């Protein structure tokens, strides 16, 4: 039997048996794993709070043949405001849902792990959730190998110089008017939209809270991301 001490964040959990929880946890060192927490729902369990969704936690694990079992858990960072308002809880849940869909089992993704933490901190501190979500969605795409092409035509590689172009999911980003297919489905992108997508894609955590992007621009970016993320997942999705 192997033992581990990992830092992780619970994305989701479900109850089973007599007060047990089956959790999906993203960790720094082991990637996304399934963790069983026996007795986690019992009132006296120390694991209970620490393994709550969206908490940064040190978890002591042992590995069975099939899954990890949480022996003990110690909360490192809590985001209490996420539980205080429905809008913030929904935003955190969207981040967790998208992460779960895009992060394969037991693959490390240190950058994505950190970005989930930044996003939860910003949401907890009251930074505009629409800004945090659009930034998270673009970073998620970038960190899982689906970064949209935004600086040149995805087909002919002609550099983008500020014209009206088109965003195509199958092409993986923007295409110039010459490469646009008559029969394809595209979003028109203006220089303003593309500039702000690039700003969100490149923004470091120190810049993010101070970005000023108009709501109508973020709404347009949301429509493009709903389409693009949905295309990668093979289903229609709705973003907040
Ligand atoms: Zn082209």
Sheet with 173-175, strands from edge to edge, namely 173-175, 165-168, 187-189
The confidence score (pLDDT) of residue 70 equals 95
Please report, in angstroms and rounded to a whole number, the separation of the first and last CA atoms in the chain. Answer: 43
- Count other C-beta atoms under 10 Å from residue 63's C-beta: 14
Ligand 1 centroid vs 36 CA: distance in angstroms? 50
Domains of the chain: 2-77 (2.40.50.140), 127-233 (no CATH)
Ligand 1 centroid vs 159 CA: distance in angstroms? 9
The confidence score (pLDDT) of residue 45 equals 67
Ligand 1 centroid vs 195 CA: distance in angstroms? 18
The confidence score (pLDDT) of residue 155 equals 98
Q: Tens place of pLDDT for every residue, the chain, 240 residues?
A: 789 999 999 999 999 999 899 999 999 999 999 999 998 777 566 777 889 999 999 999 999 888 899 999 999 999 999 999 999 999 999 999 999 999 999 999 999 999 999 999 999 999 999 999 999 999 999 999 999 999 999 999 999 999 999 999 999 999 999 999 999 899 999 999 999 999 999 999 999 989 999 999 999 999 999 999 999 999 999 999
Distances (CA, A) of 43 to 6, 38, 40, 49, 66: 24, 13, 8, 10, 27
Ligand 1 centroid vs 156 CA: distance in angstroms? 4
Ligand 1 centroid vs 187 CA: distance in angstroms? 15
Per-residue HEC secondary structure of 145-214 comes to CCCCECCECCCCCCECCCCCEEEECCCCEEECCCCCCCCCCCEEECHHHHHHHHHHHHCCHHHHCCCCCC
**Helix (H/G/I), strand (E/B), else coil: 127:** coil
The confidence score (pLDDT) of residue 167 equals 98
Ligand 1 centroid vs 185 CA: distance in angstroms? 16
């Amino acid at each position: 039997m192997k033992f581990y001490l990992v830092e992780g964040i619970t994305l989701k959990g479900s109850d089973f048996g007599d007060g047990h929880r089956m959790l999906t946890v993203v960790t720094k060192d082991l990637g996304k794993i399934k963790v069983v927490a026996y007795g986690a729902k019992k009132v006296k369990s120390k694991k209970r709070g620490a393994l709550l969704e969206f908490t940064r936690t040190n978890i002591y694990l042992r590995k069975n043949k099939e899954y990890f079992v949480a022996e003990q858990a110690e909360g490192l960072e809590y985001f209490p405001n996420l539980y205080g308002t429905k809008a913030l809880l929904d935003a955190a849940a969207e981040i967790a849902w998208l992460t779960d869909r895009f992060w394969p089992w037991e693959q490390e993704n240190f950058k994505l792990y950190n970005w989930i933490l930044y996003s939860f901190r910003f949401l907890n501190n009251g930074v505009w959730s629409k800004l945090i979500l659009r930034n998270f969605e673009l970073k998620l795409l970038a960190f899982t190998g689906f970064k949209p092409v935004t600086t040149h035509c995805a087909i002919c590689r002609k550099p983008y110089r500020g014209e009206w172009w088109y965003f195509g999911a199958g092409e993986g980003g923007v295409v110039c008017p010459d490469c646009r297919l008559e029969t394809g489905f595209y979003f028109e992108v203006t220089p303003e939209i593309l500039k702000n997508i690039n700003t969100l894609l490149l923004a470091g955590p120190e810049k993010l809270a101070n970005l000023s992007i108009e709501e109508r621009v973020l709404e347009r970016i949301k429509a493009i991301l709903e389409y693009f993320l949905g295309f990668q997942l093979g289903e229609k999705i709705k973003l907040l």
